[in-house]
Amino acid sequence: MFYQGQPLYRCPPRLPNLLLSLRRISGYDAVLTPERTSTALKKLLGKQSPKLIHILHGAGDREKGYEDRIRLFDLVFVAGQKDRDAFLRYGLATADTCHVIGYCKFDVLPAAPPRFFENDRPVALYNPHFDAHLGSWLRFGPSLVEAFATMPEFNFIVAPHLRLRGKGRHLFDKLSRLSQASNLRFDGGSLHSINMDYTRTADIYVGDVSSQVYEFLQTPKPCVFLNAHDADWKDSPFYRHWTFGEVASSAEEAPALIRSAASQHPRFVALQTSGFAAAINSGADTASARAALLIRKYLASAQPAEDRP
């Protein structure tokens, strides 16, 4: 259920959508979903619930990505071995229920992303996460936007996670409305922000904990990360991607790291390459084809013997 003509971030909440569609959903054999609110079907419908199949919508490292609701799914698809190993290690899935399929977005990408600026200057994507406890937007955002406007040698796309709400959303609306800088593009949640147009067109990634960094690293490129909460990140699997570039501990440090990101990139290429390979599997078949085959096999095995063809 979407509001006609409204931005994606103004979509109605998931649970009301689920409740309004309950009768229809109960008639299906299975539900394939990238979100986890649908696990409520297990309580709402009990034994009448369709089989729940989870396909992760990203390949990131954030701790909340490994939450208990994953146990409620009958089948789980992950992009790479990194997440399969973690799900098995944390007891969230089993070797029989968790499968590596690759990254479905890669199956439908156009040959090239659109151009967003009328010059050939390097493009830096600033992609802060919506989680105020982990993201950099509220603490670093205003200073960074001000600094970006004084860096005409770069173009900047400021595109936070489309689930940015509350104070973060108000701040974004204010800064985007007031900015007059010709080298800044603000996007509060268009399709460009989720279909990899920005991660593919950008030359430098600037962010915190968003899984979009792995989409950006489909081709190894420079990264700068923002530690806005004094995170003790160096030995944490939940900040694994921060080993792919320099980390700024303040907004004031970030501009210099952005300027030096290209020259420093050779130091991080090997880590980016191995990290991407662990996060997102590539194979002869597309991720979509692998998922479809696994779903068909699973539903066939779950069907009572007397009902099988």
What distance in Å separates the CA atoms of residue 292 and residue 38, rounded to the nearest whole number?
20
Judge whether 117 lies within some domain. no
Do residues 278 and 81 lie in contact, with contact meaning Cβ atoms separated by under 8 Å?
Answer: yes
Q: How many domains does the chain have?
A: 2
Q: Residues 140, 268: one domain?
A: yes
pLDDT along the chain (309 residues), means of 10: 61 85 93 96 94 96 96 98 98 98 96 96 98 97 98 98 94 96 96 96 98 98 98 97 99 99 99 98 95 97 61
CB within 8 Å of 187: residues ≥ 6 apart = 157, 158, 159, 193, 198
Q: Residues 98, 202: one domain?
A: no
What distance in Å separates the CA atoms of residue 165 and residue 144, rounded to the nearest whole number?
19
Q: Residues 89, 188: one domain?
A: no
Judge whether 111 lies within some domain. no
Q: How many CB atoms lie within 10 A of CB 149?
A: 15
Domain ranges, residue 171: 123-279
Locus of tokens 């530690």 = 227
Q: Residues 138, 268: one domain?
A: yes
What distance in Å separates the CA atoms of residue 57 and residue 211, rounded to the nearest whole number?
9
Q: Residues 260, 130: one domain?
A: yes
Judge whether 3 lies within some domain. no
What distance in Å separates the CA atoms of residue 277 and residue 217, rounded to the nearest whole number?
10
Q: Residues 71, 193: one domain?
A: no
- pLDDT at residue 304 in the model: 60
Q: Residues 214, 303: one domain?
A: no
Report the CATH number at residue 260.
3.40.50.2000
- pLDDT at residue 5 in the model: 61
Positive or negative torsion for Cα 180, 183, 184, 187: positive
What distance in Å separates the CA atoms of residue 309 and residue 295, rounded to the nearest whole number?
17
Q: Residues 148, 264: one domain?
A: yes
Q: Residues 149, 207: one domain?
A: yes
Judge whether 114 lies within some domain. no
Q: Which of 242, 252, 166 is nearest to 207 (CA)?
A: 242
Do residues 261 and 226 lie in contact, with contact meaning Cβ atoms separated by under 8 Å?
Answer: no
Q: How many CB atoms lie within 10 A of CB 216?
A: 27
Strand-pairing partners, residue 246, are 224
- pLDDT at residue 305 in the model: 47
Judge whether 60 lies within some domain. yes
Q: How far is CA 126 from CA 17, 155, 226, 259, in A?
A: 31, 11, 10, 14
Judge whether 113 lies within some domain. no
Do residues 208 and 135 lie in contact, with contact meaning Cβ atoms separated by under 8 Å?
Answer: yes
Confidence (pTM): 0.93
Judge whether 97 lies within some domain. yes
Q: Residues 141, 223: one domain?
A: yes
Q: Residues 167, 94: one domain?
A: no
Judge whether 166 lies within some domain. yes
Q: Residues 197, 71: one domain?
A: no
Q: Which of 287, 277, 279, 293 is nearest to 104 (CA)?
A: 287
